[in-house]
């Protein structure tokens, strides 16, 4: 991952913000679901994983 991808869109922080994660989940929803499906090999678990990820990003779970 390049340094440019680690910086939020407005360039004010070196860490992704909650808004950044929400945008990514929105723009890459299909790809992220397929990744979860490939990793879990179970459609129900993949959906739970994807929804939990969205929930964490909305709640502002700090990730660096």
**Sequence-ordered alpha helix ranges (H) in 1-64:** 3-6, 18-27, 29-40, 43-58
Q: What integer pLDDT is reported at residue 61 of this predicted model?
A: 61
For the chain, how far is it from start to end, CA to CA, in angstroms? 13
Q: What integer pLDDT is reported at residue 26 of this predicted model?
A: 87
Sign of CA dihedral 60, 50, 40, 34: negative
* Both structure tokens of 45: 């678990």
Q: Tens digits of per-residue pLDDT, 18-58?
A: 788 888 888 999 999 999 999 999 999 999 998 888 888 77
> What are the domain boundaries of the chain?
17-64
Q: What pTM, to 2 d.p., does this model score?
A: 0.61
Phi first, then psi, for residue 40 (nearest 5°) are -100, -25
């Amino acid at each position: 991952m390049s340094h440019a991808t680690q910086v939020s869109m407005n360039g004010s922080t070196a860490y992704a913000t909650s808004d950044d994660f929400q945008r990514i989940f929105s723009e890459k929803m299909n790809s992220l679901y397929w990744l979860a499906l490939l990793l879990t090999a179970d459609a129900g678990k993949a959906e739970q994983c994807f929804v939990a990820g969205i929930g964490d990003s909305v709640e502002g779970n700090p990730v660096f």
